[in-house]
Structure formats: structure tokens, C-alpha cells
A and B are shown apart, each in its own frame.
Chain A
Amino acid sequence: MESEPLNKSAEIEAVHPVIEPGHTFASVTDKISAIVLTQKTPRFWYVGFGISFLLLMVLLYSIAAVLTIGVGLFGINIPVAWGFDIVNFVWWIGIGHAGTLISAILLLLRQKWRQSINRFAEAMTLFAVACAGLFPLLHLGRPWYAYWLFPYPSTMGIQPQFRSPLVWDVFAVSTYFTISLLFWYVGLIPDLATLRDQARQRFARFAYGILAMGWRGSAIHWHRYEMAYLLLAGLAAPLVVSVHTVVSFDFAVALVPGWHSTIFPPYFVAGAIYSGFAMVLTLAIPLRKMYGLEDFITLRHLKNMAEVMLATGLIVAYGYLMETFMAWYSGNIYEQYLMWNRMFGPYWYMYWALLLFNILVPQVLWFRAVRTNVVALFVIAICVNVGMWLERYVIVVVSLARDFMPSAWGRYSATAWDYGVFIGSIGLFFAALFLFVRFLPMISIFEMRELVHDTEEPK
């Protein structure tokens, strides 16, 4: 899919370069580090951070309530024993896929345009995964025993039940978080060194110095560094694919109609990339405007991401199509009823809204005019974020509400606490993001230098 921009890269590069001309090593370094070091923190930062911090408080309040009173505060019941908690979990995890994908897979594919967006995409990944990790903990009836899902020398002499996809989740998500963190940090080391050397205040020098671990840009270090980075990319690439595959196993391994389907892994992964890129766009567009980084995050980047979205969006559409077809073709009355129930049952509006946001709206990306129109891209990205959330809702709730025994059919609707935790997790996400753009370089400086070096004519 990413090969598409490659083919006609020549002429496109002419129209939209990956970095606007006229930049030197010094200029990129100063421009990016200035945001962190010298520039006065802009007002919108305080506003944005303030709002997200309030939402974060909502999260903490809701968590406290759920822990003390009980998971019954959520709208869940029998048969719909999973609700917002798992919906949000899958949604956040999906979002958390873009970062590592951009850094790892595009690196392996030698995509130059990744270099100015990978840093904050990775940061976004970390925060998204952190939010995601919250929900499996919260949805437990007895969250204080969550550690039982990890293998450890237990006095009960018992270990996790390794056949359960939930345990796979634990390993997949924690591995993913660890690797993404390392990847991100390794990428940061040279820039931290830059900040260390650029910073004027003693504390800043000290702090960044500690974090930079004495990096001095030695040729031999660079040599190993590139090797390690490449290896990490090589490891992270299959990891990214595996994580959402495992998440999809939570459903595919179960026998609930609407869950038990072999197509889940591929189209969950596609959906993850889809929503991931949507979120990157949602963040990149305002950021480049606010911080005047149009030179580094050019239309080219936006356009390429739009193209990735279009491609993955089509895969997702194919997934929906196949689900429907297989439901009919299987001749399985439960599957057939499920499809009918999705389309015309009590939750019909969810399904059609999902098709609208996820499939219909993004089709306008076929037009280059749209792909290079910043506002349009922003709106579409928001649509896709919403659509992907709806998809998870349809999969989790609607399937559970009506499965095999009509006598046990029920319904689900979220309570204030469900919304509290959901909105709160968004608060957590943005609070972390605002702190990141304030204290760390949101664009990889040394890679921009490389870019400058590669793009300028050899002397």
C-alpha cells in the first residue's frame, strides 16, 4: 500500500517535498529545539493542557468510584458482560498502532516522509497504549487481583491459564508497550544530547544530560545505533501486526456469533492502522499549524497518510463485506440472525453510522484535491476516529446482546460512569501529549539533519 506514493514519487516530490528547501543543519536544529527550550509556552498550550487535565481528574474520580463501589456501576449485565471498557480498550490499542508502524515499517520501506512525523506518532502510540491498558484493569470484577494474569511464583501454586486470549493480550500489549517505549527512547537519545548542548538553564542541561546518557555522536556509536534501530524496526514490524491480531483473537477465539470469524485478524490490523493514521492526522494538522512546522510536516506527509488511510479503509470495507457475505453463505442461522440484527435490530443506527463514517466518507480521498486539503483531511480523520469506535461497539455489544438463546437476550446502554472513564481516558491521552510537545522535541532533529543532508545538492 505504501508503495503507491513511491511510484509517482518523482513528480509529487517536485510539488510537495518532504522538507521545504533552504533549511540547514543549524536551522532545523534551532527551530525544533527552540520550541522546547527558548520559545515562550503559547497560550493555547495552557488552555489545551488545562482542559485535558480536568478530564484527567474526571477519569481519576470515576476510577475511584468503580474501585470502591463495584464494576456494577458500568452498564454491563448478563448477557452483555463487556461494554465500553472493552470497546475503548480495542479502540485505543488500534490508535496505538500508527506510531510504531510509521517508525518501523516505513523505515524498513525506506520512506523518507516518515522522518518528520515518526517522533510524535510514537509518543502518541505510547499514550494510546497506556490509555488502552487502563481498561482491561478497570473492567475486572476484582481489579486488585489483576496481577494474577501475569506468571509469577504464586503461593497458590497456580499460573495464568495460557489458553485464554486475555492472557495473550496481557503479553502482547505489555510487549508492545515496552518495545514502543524503547524504540521511542532510542530515537530520542541523540536529540536529548542536542537539547543538553543547546539548553541554557542549568536544570535543563542537567535533566537532558542525564537522559542523553552522555551521547556524543561518535561514528562508532552511530554505526551500532543505526544497526540497533534497524533491528528494533525489524522486530517491531511483526509485533505491530501481532498485537492487533491477538486483540482480535479475544473475539475470534470465542464462539459468539459475530466474534467467531477467521477474517478478524487481518481486518483488525487494517482497522488499527486506519484509525492510527486518522489519529496522527488529527494531531499533526493542528500541531504543525500551532507551532508553524509546515516546513517539516508538509502537504506531502498529509497526502501520503491520507493515501494510507484510503488503502487500509478499503481493506476494512472488504472485511465488513466478507463478514456479511460469510454470514449469508455459511447458512448458519445464528450468524445470519446476527447480521440481520446488526442492520435492523435495536442497534441498527450504530451499524449504519459506522458504515457512513468508516466507509462512505473516506471515499472522497480518491480525489487529490481532498488529499491535499488540510481542513478536509482533518474532518475525515475525525470521522474515521468516530467510525472505528463505533465498529468496536457494534462488534462487542451488538454481538453479545443477542446470541444463541433468545431467552437470554438483553440489551446494553452505557452509564455516566462508562462515559466518565471514556472521556477521562481521552483527557489522560491529551494531557500526556501536551506535556510531550512541551518538554521533548516533537520532530526527530537528527533525522531532519539527515534529511537536509540528503536533499541538498552534493557539493
Chain B
Amino acid sequence: MKPETRNSKLANARLDLASIRERLASSRGQEYWRCLEELSDSEEFHKLLTQEFPQQAAGLLDGVSRRDFLRLMGASLALAGLNACRPASVDEKIVPYVNQPEQIVPGRPLFFATAFPLSGVGTGVLVESHEGRPTKIEGNPNHPASLGATDAFAQASILTLYDPDRSQVVRNAGRISTWSAFLTAVNDDLEAERVVGGGGLRILTETITSPTLGNQLRQLLAKFPSAKWHQYEPVSRDNARAGGRLAFGTDVNTIYRFENAEVILSLDADFLFSGPANVRYARDFAGKRSVRQGKVGMNRLYVIEATPSVTGAMADHRMALRPSEIPNFAAAVAAKIGLAVQSTIDAQRFQWIDALVRDLQKHREASVVVAGDGQPPGVHALAHAMNQALDNVGKTVVYTNPIEANPLDQMASLRELVKDMESGAVRILLMLGGNPVYTAPVDLGFAEQLAKVPLRVHSGLYEDETSAYCHWHIPETHYLESWSDIRAYDGTATILQPLIAPLYSGRSSHEILAALLGRSGETSYDIVRNYWKGQKIAGDFETGWRRAVHDGIIAGTTFQPKSVNLKAPSSNWFAGSPSVSETRNPKPETQNPQAEPGRSLEISFQPDPTLFDGRFANNGWLQELPKPLTKLTWDNAALVSPKTAQRLGLSYRIGARGGEHGRVFTDLVELRYEGRSLRAPAWIVPGHAEDCITVHLGYGRTRAGKVGNGTGFNAYGIRTASAPSYGTGVEIRKIGTQYTLACTQFHHSMEGRDLVRAAALEEYRKNPDFAQGEHHHESAGSLYPGFKYEGYAWGMAIDVNACIGCNACVVACQAENNIAVVGKTEVTRGRELHWLRIDRYYKGSPENPETFHQPVPCMHCENAPCELVCPVGATSHSDEGLNDMTYNRCVGTRYCSNNCPYKVRRFNFFQYADFATPSLKPLRNPDVTVRSRGVMEKCTYCVQRINGAKIEAERENRPVRDGEIVTACQAACPTEAIFFGDINNRDSVVAKAKGDSLNYGLLTELNTKPRTTYLAKLKNPNPEIKSD
């Protein structure tokens, strides 16, 4: 070979390298360089890979300098190595993971910002990724809806990603097909439609706040002018939207600023637990209740609700009213505040209404009235009016433009769609996500009408009830698998970036719409990116985009408050709401309480606290998660008040196996409503409104998957379009048989033991040490000298006052520590494995009790009783005070559990951990052992995180900083109720907390010296109201 040719070869080799470098340097920013669909799809890349080796290899033979060789290898392999995380199914060149891509250090996780979408609204999260496998969801501190915390749903969503039951292939009439087959199939029909302007094309989506998706839909409507875009969300915010329109005449998005609210009146609003901003609201709310470190002020919460809720459990004053009575109550309050609304009300029924109103008026500009999504528009309008009247607008309430891409009355929209389907006007129905066949109001007969549509397409995570009715089913990408964007409750937009290439041949809604637009080549990445190119992002786009993806929020997208002008309250605010009749002539339950059983009751439909609207039905973590107040798992039930249960003669029996901690047999009842009937187990809930039944949606799925099928009953079966949230005229009667429910804590009372110590604010001011209790013998003497803990001494403090019992910590713990799901039968035998449980106690009358939540992890006692009795030393103390479990040494005597006064130890009675299912393996946290049969396990204070931080600190040759170690439960907690750190460092947050006068230990009279302690609960009752 002639030298010059060789040189020329080398020359263009360098050229290639240069282009590679700039490519790497440019668009694919470091934050998301691993997500490579677009990179690998781009033909330059293909050329690069194909051309590079052969040519240079030729060059190599005739003595290329070693440096050149290495440079070439390095560059090509670096690029190739990147897409090693794509599964082999993809038709791209796979190159083994031979050398170290920058940033990845095996064993050290990376975090990527994205957002968790629920009902179309996003909560910012950071996703922990181990060598390309997302394993854990954390909150995104920069994101307004998260502030670093998450709820249980976000935590559990990682399991859905790896769910083996997810739909994996395009299906045509149930038979396996392909994406391209789908495109060719629908192409002709689309063409036909385009000719007629898309008159027969309908698109049904869930609520959409994604700007890009909204834009795509608008483009589609532009292409098909007479096509229609419908939206339906089973747990909708229609009432709130309508209420806004009633009050202001325009669509508004209401944002509450609880950090400014001294007095809060909730009209059936569970704002701490549900709704698009629950995590943020919980944080703000709790912030105003903490009285530690000098702060002595505390907000006051009044809750009027039918079904005991997480929010209601936090109330200083709570009143249980049937849903239909609440508008009436709202009107009464409004009237007393001075609004021109008439309300028929006998004041003595609502004892403390006057005190409430005085309290509100005393706190102008610092009070807030919140209406629940279940309440009719009128109540929302009234709430707006009251907030206006109390000068709260701008202070505790802020209005912005709606965050939805296209706000509309979803129920009406669905009605219209069904009508069109019935009339045969619909020729193509494209359902992007959602599961309307299962969730649509039963009286619309959605499924039957759907059958009339000639071409039905459905995309979803699962092959569910709806896809069974469709010609085409397209597997949807999980939000961790694809690019997208979404808005938060305050309009803040987030770019969703994928953490892993699609596990199955999934397609995002963006790609599907692009295909319909005839641009099937486009990837989600291009679509989203191009959309935002069009928007004005501060500074130059590249940096702005990279910052946005990195931070998890797009700067400057938060909606600005807009000024609104209130219309005069009018009586037609209540027109059409199902509660009208009720409102006009309220039926106080003081009248004929001994009425005949089966007399008409009221029914309230609520999203399930763990399965939401049913979309999480196949998520084992959520199925097994004890519901906040009922502590039920794997089932829903018809909730009734103790009195009503007594009147109806409903009974229960505690099972002999498991008992209070597991198995309860309750009467099966039949609910007759609007000519339809339903069988459900009855469950007695203290504090529930009388003559009212609450049923939770989301159960009774038939095509959810292995986990979700056949759990509970389907409440959608009697839910009508006219009364989606509540209605009257339910007949209930016992069937005579009983049903087994898995309940992890059936015992309500604290049995006079001071486990949760609580006091009213006044008491606390008088006696700040009340929490120390009567017996002060914390340091009950020991004949033995205690152990000295020099260096770190890890400890935890849990603020019972802040805990709202939302369960986020429980799921976070399960995700972090590879805790197995045991299934209903084992739960009924008292064998669930949760390391962290939330105890729920009631105090006071069963009609309207006080509720207490107490998260109970391992106490890591310094004098651990469990360690003493272990015959093989499988549980022992670290010199930092951790109560360690050595799984591989455990022989399973279970003596430690018997001797644990807190009963926080969990035992693998069988082989619970699933070692078989391949798709679950990448889910596991590689830093935590997966336990096998016959060994004990329990909370470790996330020892893997502790050691991770210690190693980090040692490498940097410094002590571990306070707040550097965050346990999984602590990280997830929306209300910052959990503190963790080094108690030897006296200025650590946890040490300060433990120094507080509210600090107390559990069962310290046993001289266990627990490292986990609690901060007592405080209530702030209105002095004018004497507690009943």
C-alpha cells in the first residue's frame, strides 16, 4: 500500500472522530446520554459503526500507529457501548459492554429527573438507575409538586414498569401482529376519513396536560377538521372545573397556599392525600403544624366529610355528614359569612358552625375554604365566593389558567362520544391509554356502543378490558421508557426522559399520533424536542433544553396567577347537582333512627387509596399496601358507620388464624342502586357518616393481570353518569354469607397504653413535658455497664404530629429493600413482610373518633431483646448502634420476633421472594440481599445507604455530613415527619429533634433504649368548641 493513501485514510478517520466528538458534545447532553433510541436510529451512527471497523481494520494491518488504533477503538466502542442497554429484540447492532462509558461506576447509581404522571398531571421525581436499570423513585426537590417527596403511587410505579403482565406486542383481534402491520391496516381508513374531513374519527384520551401531546392533537384536528377529541377520566375534576366556571365564568385552575393558611375548612376535600398537588399540600400543611424549635403557632383544620379520609384524620374538628348534606352545610357557612345564599338548616345540628365562622372571619387573608372534587360545582363556586369574601384570594388561594391542554366537562364529552357511537357516526375510535370499558359509567353502556365502531384502536400498558373490545391493541410505553412532557398542578412543565429503552415493543402516544399524522418515522424524542424548540425557552435552546431535562422542570413554565372577578352567588349554582333535593329538605338522622333495614341509603364513590381508579390493580405493592384507615389489603369493601351497621344488623367475626392481625370475616351485602346490584363485603369504619355507604373504585378487574384479576368487587358496576361521586337511594341487604378480608390491623384501641402521646396545643403550652409521661424511669438501672458508642450513632425520630398516614414511606421501604409480596392468603395469616408499618389507633366515640397514625419501623434498641435470644448470633449490634440482621446466619427460630416488644420483625415462612420471574430481577436493589425461605428480616435503617454515604465520606476523607444519609422512608415522606442521622453529633437535625420536649420513646420502661423515638402529636382545637 502506498503511504499517502494510508495517510488519507487516517485523515478521514480523524474526520470521523471529530464529527463523533462534536455529536457527543452537542445534542446528547450528559444528563440523558444513555437514552439512545434517537442516537442509534440516526443513520450517521449506523454508517459510523458499519464503516468504521472494516476500513480502519484494513488500515491497521499496514501499521497504523498504536495511538490511532486506540483512538478509533475508543471512540467507536464508546458509542457502541452506549446502546448496550437496548434489548436484543431491537434490530440494531449490539456491541458488548466492553469498556467503561463515562459516568457509570458499577455499583454507584445515577439519578435522572423526570415526572410521574397521574390523571395527566405530573409530579417531579428523580429515578435511581443502576447500570441502566431504574430501581427506585425519589422526589425531585426542585419540582414544586414534589419538593423531594412522593406519594405511594409514584413509589410503586417502578414495579409497573417491570410487571411481567404488561402487554408486550401489538395485537390485532387478539392475534400477535406488528407496528407496521397496524400502520398499513389503518392507513386506508385514515385516507378515507381525510377525504371527508375526519367526520368519523374520534380520539378518546385521559386528561392531558402534556403541551406536546396537546399540540399533536391540535395538529391532528387541523388535518381532520371534523374529527373529535374526547377526554374521560373516571376520577375526574369536572366538578372543580364547572365550579370555577360558575364562579368566574372562565376556566380556572385553583392553587391553595396552605403555608399561609391559619384556618382551613375542608368541604369533603381530601387535599392531603388525593388530587394533583397532594404531596405539596401535605408539606405546606404540615409545615404550619410543627411547633418545635420555638415555633408555637399551629394551623387549625376543620373537615366536613362523609368518608373518613387521611385529611379528616388530621382534623382538629371533624364532622361526618352525608355527601348530600355538605352543600347545605357549605351554604350555611357562606350565609353566615355574609354571602347572599339561602340555606335551609337547623343550626343545632351543626353545633360548632358559628364558632367555625367566627374563626374564619378572625383569620381573614389567612384562612381557606377547600371544596372536594366529589362535591357538586355549586360547592366549589361557594368555596371560591367564601375565599373571596374572606380576602383569601392572592394569599391562600391563587387562580391560574387551566393546566389541561383542553379543559372540558369530561362526563359530557364521554356522553357525546357514546351518542355518536350509537348513531354510527364514529368510524374510527382511537383510545390513547385509559380503560373506558371498565371505568365508564355503567348506564352509558360504553362497551355495547363501542362494538358498533368499525375500527377500534386502543393503546395501553396492559391488554385490559378495553383492548379486549378493540381490533387493534398497541402496547404503550411506560413513562420511564419514553420521552414526553407534562404539567404539574401549577402549570410547571417537565420533560419526561426515559430511564431505559422500552422493555417490550411499546409505543408512546406521541409516536402513535405522529403515525396518524403521517410522520411515522418520528420518535418521541424528536417530537417533544421539536415542540419545545418552537416554545421560547430562556437563553439559547440547547442549554435551556439540557438544563430543563437535567433539572426536571422547564424554567418559566409555571403559570402566573391571574386575576378573576367573582359573579354574584346564585341559587342556580346548585341546579342539576344530585344533591339538590337533599339540600332543599335535609334529612337529619335524628329522625326515625330505627327505620326498617334496607331503607334507602346514600352511596359515595371514591378513588381507592391504593389502586386509585383501577390502573394500579396489577401492582402487587399497592394491592398489599394496607389502606390508610381501614388497613385492608387485596380487597375493597362497602364502608359503613358503626351505627348504620348495627341498624342493618351487619356483623363480623375475627378469624382464628391471624386474627386481629390478618383475618376478618364480614357479612356479604347486596347493594341495589338505580336498578343495578352489586355484592360487597361490609366493613365498619368509625367516624363514617350515618346512613351512607362508601365504595372504592378500582377493584373487580377481569383483565388486569395475574395479580389484579378477581380482587375485590367492581364499584363501577353501579356508578352512573348522573351521579359519579355520590347519590341516594341505595338499598342494602345481607346475603347471609360471609367474606374473608385481609386486614393488617383490626384492633382499634390503644388499650390505655401511651403508645401515641397527644395533647391539645393549650395543654402543651402549659406543660411542654407532657410527652414524657407519668413514668420517668427511662434509665431503669442495669447491673451491666452500657455500651459506649463513639463515632457515629445512627438514630431516627418520627414526628407523629406531622405524619398523615399516607403510606408513601411503606412503599418506599418496600421498593428500596426488595421486600416481597406475600399475597392475600398469607396476609390473612398475619405474615405480610412490610418492614415499616403504620399503626392506626382510634380514641373517643366510634361515631366521630380521634385518629392517630404511628409509623413503626425497627427501634434499633441499644439493649435489643431480639439479639439476646438469638441462638446463632444472626442478629447483633454494630458499633454504630444498628441492630443488624445476618440473613445467611439465621436459622429461623423466630425467638427474636417473640421477644420484640414492638413486633417489627418479619419472617419468610415460605419462599416469598420471586427468584423465577426474569423481568422482576432488574427491579431489585442490587445493594440489598433478596431473602430466602426460613430467615427473619426487618428494618435496617437502610444500612446500604448508610454505608454508601460512609464510603463516599471516606473517599473524600471527611466525616459524614448531617442530612447526607436519607433513609427510603424519610426521603418519600411528604410531610418530613422522619428525621435520621448521627445522634452523637449534637447539631444534627435528629439530635435536635430528640432533644425536644415532645420527644418520647416507645415502651422505654422495658429499658430497651430504642434508637427510634417519636415526637408527640398535638391538636389545635378551637377553644370555643367543647370537644364532644
Judge A-B direct contact (beta carbons within 8 Å).
yes
CA of A346 to CA of B654, assembled, Å: 10
Q: Are B898 and A254 in contact (CB under 8 A)?
A: yes
Contact with A along B749-782 (1 / 0, CB 8 A): 1111101000000000000000000000000000
- Contact B897 A78, beta carbon cutoff 8 Å: yes
Indicate with 1 or 0, residue by residue over A396-440, a CB within 8 angstroms of chain B CB atoms: 000011011111111111010000000000000000000000000
A43-73 to B contact mask, C-beta < 8 Å, 1/0: 0000000000000000000000000011110
- Assembly CA distance A158 to B891 (angstroms): 14
Bound Cα distance from A164 to B906, whole angstroms: 20
Residues of B within 8 A of A401 (CB): 659
State whether the Cβ of A82 lies closer than 8 Å to any Cβ in chain B: yes
Is B661's CB under 8 angstroms from A406's CB? no
Residue A77 is within 8 A (CB to CB) of chain B in the complex: yes
Tell me if A26 counts as interface (CB < 8 A to partner B): no
Q: A161-B870, A408-B903 are in contact. Are A140 and B840 (CB under 8 A)?
A: no
The stretch of B49-57, B789-797, B907-915 that contacts the partner chain: B907-915
Chain B residues within an 8 Å CB radius of A333: 752-753
Complex Cα spacing A139 to B895, Å: 11
A149-B872, A161-B873, A253-B869 given as contacts; is B892 within 8 A of A141 (CB)?
A: yes
List CB contacts (< 8 Å) of B898-951 with chain A.
898-899, 901-903, 905-911, 933-936
Q: Report the Cα distance A376→B67, complex, angstroms.
A: 103
Contacts of B873 in A (CB 8 A): 158-161
Chain B residues with CB under 8 A of A140: 891-893, 934
Whether the Cβ atoms of B871 and A404 lie closer than 8 Å is no
Residue from B661, B750, B907, B1003 whose CB has the most chain A CB atoms within 10 Å: B661
**B655 is an interface residue with CB less than 8 A from chain A:** yes
CA of A410 to CA of B898, assembled, Å: 12
**Given known A-B contacts A72-B909, A163-B868, A411-B658, A404 and B898 have beta carbons under 8 A apart:** no
Expressed in whole angstroms, the Cα–Cα distance for A75 and B658 within the complex equals 9
Bound-state Cα–Cα, A255 to B659, Å: 23
The answer to whether B661 touches A77 (Cβ under 8 A) is yes
Bound CA span A62–B898, Å: 25
What's the Cα separation between A408 and B868 when bound, in Å?
Answer: 22
Check if A404 sits within 8 Å of B753, measured CB to CB.
yes
Which residues of chain B from 633 to 665 have a CB within 8 Å of any chain A CB? 654-662
B901 touches A404 (CB 8 A): yes
Complexed CA–CA distance, A141 and B892 (Å):
4
- Beta-carbon contact of A70 and B868 below 8 Å: no
A255 in contact with B1006 (CB, 8 Å):
yes
A165 at the interface (CB under 8 A from B): yes
Interface status of B256 (Cβ within 8 A of chain A): no
Query: Is there a chain B Cβ closer than 8 Å to A167's Cβ?
Result: yes
Complex contact B898–A164 (CB within 8 A): no
CB of A232 closer than 8 Å to a CB of B: no
Q: How distant is the Cα of A399 from the Cα of B893 in the complex, in angstroms?
A: 17
- With A and B bound together, what is the CA distance between A156 and B873 in angstroms? 12
Point out the residues of chain A lying under 8 angstroms from B910, CB to CB: 69-70, 72
A79 proximity list for chain B (CB < 8 A): 661, 830, 897-898, 903
For the complex, is B503 an interface residue (Cβ under 8 Å from A)? no
Closest to B751 in A: A406
Query: Which residues of B are found within 8 Å of A163, using beta-carbon distances?
Result: 868
Asked whether B892 lies within 8 Å of A142 as measured between CB atoms, the reply is yes
A145, CB-defined interface residue at 8 Å: yes
Selected from A141, A164, A403, the residue in CB contact (under 8 A) with B871 is A164
Size class of the B contact interface (CB-based, 8 Å): 35 or more
- Is B839 located at the chain interface by the 8 A CB criterion? yes
Report the number of A-B residue pairs with Cβ-Cβ less than 8 Å. 192
Residues from chain A with a CB closer than 8 A to the CB of B872 are: 145, 148-149, 158, 160-161
Chain A: residues with Cβ within 8 Å of the partner, total of: 55
- Asked if A170 is at the interface of the complex by the 8 Å CB criterion, the answer is yes
- By the criterion CB–CB under 8 Å, are A77 and B658 in contact? yes
Q: In this complex, what residue of A is CB-closest to B902?
A: A405
- Report the separation of the CA atoms of residues A405 and B900 in the bound assembly, to the nearest whole angstrom: 10
Chain B positions within 8 Å of A320 at CB level = none
B657 pairs with A77, CB closer than 8 A = yes
Residue from the list B830, B889, B890, B907 in contact with A410, Cβ < 8 A: B830
Flag if A81 contacts B897 (CB, 8 Å): yes
- Flag if B871 contacts A167 (CB, 8 Å): yes
Q: Is the CB of A141 within 8 A of B903?
A: no
- The answer to the question of B407 belonging to the interface, with a C-beta cut-off of 8 Å to chain A, is no
Known contacts being A70-B910, A164-B871, A333-B752, is A411 close to B655, with CB within 8 Å?
yes
The answer to whether B907 touches A78 (Cβ under 8 A) is yes
Evaluate contact between B747 and A409: CB separation under 8 angstroms.
Answer: yes
Asked if B869 contacts A72 (CB within 8 A), the reply is no
Within 147-199 of A, Cβ neighbours of B (below 8 Å) are at 148-149, 156, 158-161, 163-167, 170
Within 8 A of A (CB), among B965-1017: 1003, 1006
Contacts of A141 in B (CB 8 A): 890-894, 907-909, 933-936
User: What chain A residues lie within 8 Å of B750 (beta carbons)?
Assistant: 406
The complex places the Cα of A323 from the Cα of B217 at a distance, in Å, of 77
Listed residue (B660, B749, B856) with the most chain A CB atoms within 10 angstroms of its CB:
B660
Is A317 an interface residue when CB atoms closer than 8 A count as contact? no
Give chain B residues whose Cβ lies under 8 Å from the Cβ of A69: 910
CB <8 Å contact, A407 and B906: no
Q: Answer whether A160 and B659 are a contact pair too, CB < 8 Å, given A256-B899, A333-B753, A406-B747.
A: no
CB-nearest residue of chain A to B1007: A255
Whether A76 is near chain B, meaning CB under 8 Å from some CB there, is yes
The answer to whether the Cβ of B734 comes within 8 Å of any Cβ in the partner chain is no
Q: Are A410 and B660 in contact, CB atoms less than 8 angstroms apart?
A: yes
* Complex contacts, A255 vs chain B, CB 8 Å: 865, 899, 901, 1006
In the assembled complex, the Cα of A145 lies from the Cα of B658 at a distance in Å of 28
User: What residues of chain B lie closer than 8 Å to A413, measured between beta carbons?
Assistant: 656-657
Most buried by A among B659, B750, B902, B907: B659
Q: Which of B840, B897, B911 contacts A70 (CB 8 A)?
A: B911
**Inter-chain contact A77/B933, CB cutoff 8 Å:** no
- In the complex, which of the residues B656, B854, B1003 has the most CB atoms of chain A within 10 Å of its own CB atom? B656
Q: Is B829 an interface residue (CB 8 A)?
A: yes
Residues in A with CB closer than 8 Å to B824 are none
Interface residues of B in 727-753 (CB under 8 A from A): 745, 747, 749-753
Q: B841 at interface (Cβ–Cβ under 8 A)?
A: yes
Instruction: Decide if A146 is an interface residue (CB 8 Å cutoff).
Output: yes
A73-106 residues at the B interface, CB under 8 angstroms:
75-82
What is the CB-to-nearest-CB distance from B200 to chain A, in angstroms, rounded to a whole number?
A: 58
Closest to B841 in A: A407
A452: shortest Cβ distance to chain B, in Å? 50
A275 to B841 alpha-carbon distance, docked (Å): 43
Q: Is B831 an interface residue (CB 8 A)?
A: yes
Which B residues are in CB contact (< 8 Å) with A156?
889
Q: Do the beta carbons of B890 and A142 come within 8 Å of each other? A: yes
C-beta contact mask, B277-293 vs A, less than 8 Å → 1, else 0? 00000000000000000
CA gap between A69 and B912 in the complex, in Å: 12
Q: Is A225 at the interface (CB under 8 A from chain B)? A: no
Residues of B within 8 A of A142 (CB): 890-892, 933-935
- Judging by beta carbons under 8 Å apart, are A139 and B661 in contact? no
B residues 73-130 near A (Cβ < 8 Å) are none
Q: Give the CA-CA distance A165 to B868 in the complex, in Å.
A: 9
Interface string of A377-401 (1 = CB under 8 A from B): 0000000000000000000000011
10 contacts between A and B (CB under 8 A): A77-B829, A78-B661, A141-B908, A149-B872, A160-B873, A337-B751, A401-B659, A405-B901, A406-B747, A415-B657
| A140-B891, A160-B873 given; 5 more Cβ-contact pairs under 8 Å | A77-B661, A78-B905, A141-B893, A166-B893, A167-B871
B residues near A (Cβ < 8 Å) are: 654-662, 745, 747, 749-753, 755, 826, 829-831, 837, 839-841, 854, 856, 865, 868-873, 876, 889-895, 897-899, 901-903, 905-911, 933-936, 1003, 1006
Q: Chain A residues in contact with chain B, CB under 8 A? A: 69-72, 75-82, 139-143, 145-146, 148-149, 156, 158-161, 163-167, 170, 250, 253-256, 333-334, 337, 346, 400-401, 403-413, 415
List the 8 closest pairs (A to B, CB-CB), nearest first: A141-B892, A411-B659, A141-B934, A72-B909, A410-B661, A81-B894, A408-B903, A77-B830
